[in-house]
């Protein structure tokens, strides 16, 4: 009988095993002992080898004594906070918004190390139930404060039938080598209309992991936007399931990567029923010695006829040392569908640069104008003016090196 050789564990894995055992998650500790962190041999982590990239994990987070100023302010937004994994007290909620807490994690069980770790280490979850349409933007400010810490937190949102909402999540905190593992579960009711935006503004020393799971009911309309603009190492995962006919979703993202950063956006979209549609548009901009990763998969189940799904990744390299990696996939089991995917990557157009500079525009300003034009496709659909302005400010700050 062939025996399986145990994997060689590194410092990060040893720390994770000790932390899991300390909270009584012995099954997850055993899983980590046997399998370790994923390497490039694990297909979904092929470009983000956590065994190599995650060198150390700080101690589990303690309660935050104080919080830094919000990394992003949206005038008029209703703001909630989770600091070091603990739900903070909130002001009076808008009509129809029920704020609560629950124990443990929120994500569905799946074979993914970040999902397993979050479920084991997240002590409590912020819960939001939106019973009707909500006018102000709902902002969930998720923080890692104080000295370097391993922070696991979770958020569960239910949007009622026929309701509408704009939900913004921001990730930030102190300038320390935190490891954050964040989870969000969002259920969109029948004919509900939801915009969900997540923005990573973590300090450059931080490691940022986030998993978003979506369930779409009949006739639901969802728009998502993931923006990476911080953290030395980051990975955002999107798992979505279309569970009701007539549902539509636009999944979009923007990866802004510069010297020393490795940022990964990985999506797994499953059309489980017939007559559903989706559009996936992700853009990546890399400069300096950096790496931007996009992995995208659309799965169409056998009974999901009449599905229309299109995926596109567009990359822009602003330096010779930058790397942009892309792996779009289709997995189709139905025979009456319209599906496709594409991926492009290149540099700024020399003719457009020459045209702008020939009209007296300095080179740096001309580059900025072209980059803004490249990304406006993912920002323009955000209709709330204050929110759109805040998101545009993040991009402008990155372009200026702020």
Task: Give the number of domains in the chain.
Answer: 1
Does 159 reside within a domain?
A: yes
pLDDT bracket for residue 402 (50, 70, 90):
low
Does 182 reside within a domain?
A: yes
* Per-residue pLDDT tens digits for 331-362: 999 999 999 999 998 888 778 878 788 888 88
Cβ neighbors of 222 (< 8 A, separation 6 or more) are 188, 194, 195, 196, 214, 216, 240, 247, 248, 249, 250
Does 211 reside within a domain?
A: yes
Torsion over CA: 381, 387, 392, 394 (sign)? negative
* Per-residue pLDDT tens digits for 280-309: 999 999 999 999 999 999 999 999 999 999
364 or 391: which carries more pLDDT confidence? Answer: 391
Does 217 reside within a domain?
A: yes
pLDDT bracket for residue 6 (50, 70, 90):
low
Instruction: Characterize 261-274 residue by residue with b for buried, 16 or more Cβ atoms within 10 angstroms of its Cβ, and e for exposed.
Output: bbbbbbbbbbbbbb
Q: Does residue 2 register a pLDDT over 60?
A: no
Bridge partners for 292 per DSSP: 263, 324
Q: What is the mean pLDDT of residues 36-56?
A: 95
Both structure tokens of 211: 């998993």
DSSP 8-state symbol, 305? T
Give me the half-sphere count of Cα atoms (radius 13 Å) on the Cβ side of residue 286. Answer: 23
pLDDT bracket for residue 3 (50, 70, 90):
very low
Q: What is the mean pLDDT of residues 175-189?
A: 97
Q: What is the pTM of this model?
A: 0.95
Backbone angles phi, psi at 17, to 5 degrees: -60, -45
Q: Does residue 33 register a pLDDT over 80?
A: yes
Does 14 reside within a domain?
A: no
294 or 365: which carries more pLDDT confidence? Answer: 294
Both structure tokens of 27: 């099954």
Both structure tokens of 53: 């990239």
Does 267 reside within a domain?
A: yes
Euclidean distance between CA atoms 225 and 324, whole angstroms? 19
SS3 content of the chain, % helix, strand, coil (to 5): 20, 40, 40
Does 305 reside within a domain?
A: yes
Does 373 reside within a domain?
A: no
* Per-residue pLDDT tens digits for 116-136: 999 999 999 999 999 999 999
Q: Does residue 5 register a pLDDT over 80?
A: no
- The 3-state DSSP class for residue 100 equals strand
Q: What is the mean pLDDT of residues 8-30?
A: 96
Q: Does residue 68 register a pLDDT over 80?
A: no
* Per-residue pLDDT tens digits for 48-67: 999 999 999 999 999 887 66
pLDDT value of residue 356 = 81
pLDDT value of residue 329 = 95
365 or 193: which carries more pLDDT confidence? Answer: 193
Domain that holds residue 171: 70-347
pLDDT bracket for residue 1 (50, 70, 90):
very low
| Cα three-residue angle 277-282-285, rounded to 5 degrees | 170
Least confident of 78-82, 137-141, 306-310, 356-360: 356-360
Between β-strands 277-286 and 308-317, what pairing exists: parallel, antiparallel or unpaired?
A: parallel
- The 3-state DSSP class for residue 291 equals strand
């Amino acid at each position: 009988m062939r025996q399986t050789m145990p994997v060689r564990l590194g410092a990060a894995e040893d720390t994770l095993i000790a932390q899991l055992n300390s909270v009584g998650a012995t099954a997850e500790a055993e899983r980590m002992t046997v399998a370790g962190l994923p390497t490039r041999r694990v297909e979904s982590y092929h470009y983000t080898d956590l065994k190599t990239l995650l060198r150390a994990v700080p101690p589990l987070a303690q309660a935050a004594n104080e919080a830094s100023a919000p990394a992003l302010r949206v005038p008029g937004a209703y703001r909630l906070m989770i600091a070091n994994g603990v739900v903070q007290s909130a002001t009076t909620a808008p009509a129809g918004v029920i704020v609560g807490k629950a124990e443990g994690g929120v994500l569905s069980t799946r074979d993914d190390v970040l999902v397993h770790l979050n479920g084991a280490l997240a002590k409590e979850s912020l819960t939001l139930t939106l019973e009707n349409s909500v006018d102000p933007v709902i902002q969930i400010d998720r923080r890692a404060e104080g000295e370097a810490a391993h922070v696991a937190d979770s958020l569960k949102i239910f949007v009622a039938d026929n309701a509408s909402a704009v939900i913004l999540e921001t990730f930030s905190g102190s300038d320390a080598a935190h490891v954050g593992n964040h989870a969000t579960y969002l259920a969109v009711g029948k004919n509900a209309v939801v915009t969900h935006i997540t923005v990573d503004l973590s300090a450059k020393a931080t490691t940022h992991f986030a998993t978003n799971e979506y369930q779409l009911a009949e006739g639901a309309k969802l728009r998502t936007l993931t923006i990476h603009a911080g953290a030395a190492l980051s990975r955002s995962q999107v798992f979505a399931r279309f569970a009701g006919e007539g549902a539509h979703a636009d999944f979009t993202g923007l990866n802004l990567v510069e010297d020393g950063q490795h940022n990964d956006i990985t999506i797994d979209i499953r059309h489980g029923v017939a007559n559903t549609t989706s559009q996936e548009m992700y853009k990546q901009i890399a400069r300096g010695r950096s790496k931007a990763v996009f992995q995208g998969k659309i799965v169409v189940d056998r009974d999901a006829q009449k599905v229309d799904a299109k995926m596109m990744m567009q990359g822009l390299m602003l330096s010779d040392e930058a790397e942009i990696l892309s792996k779009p996939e289709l997995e189709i089991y139905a025979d009456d569908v319209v599906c496709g995917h594409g991926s492009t990557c290149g540099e700024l157009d020399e003719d457009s640069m020459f045209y702008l500079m020939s009209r007296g525009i300095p080179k740096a300003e001309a580059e900025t104008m072209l980059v803004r034009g490249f990304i406006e496709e993912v920002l323009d659909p955000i209709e709330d003016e204050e929110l759109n302005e805040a998101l545009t400010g993040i991009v402008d700050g990155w372009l200026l090196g702020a």
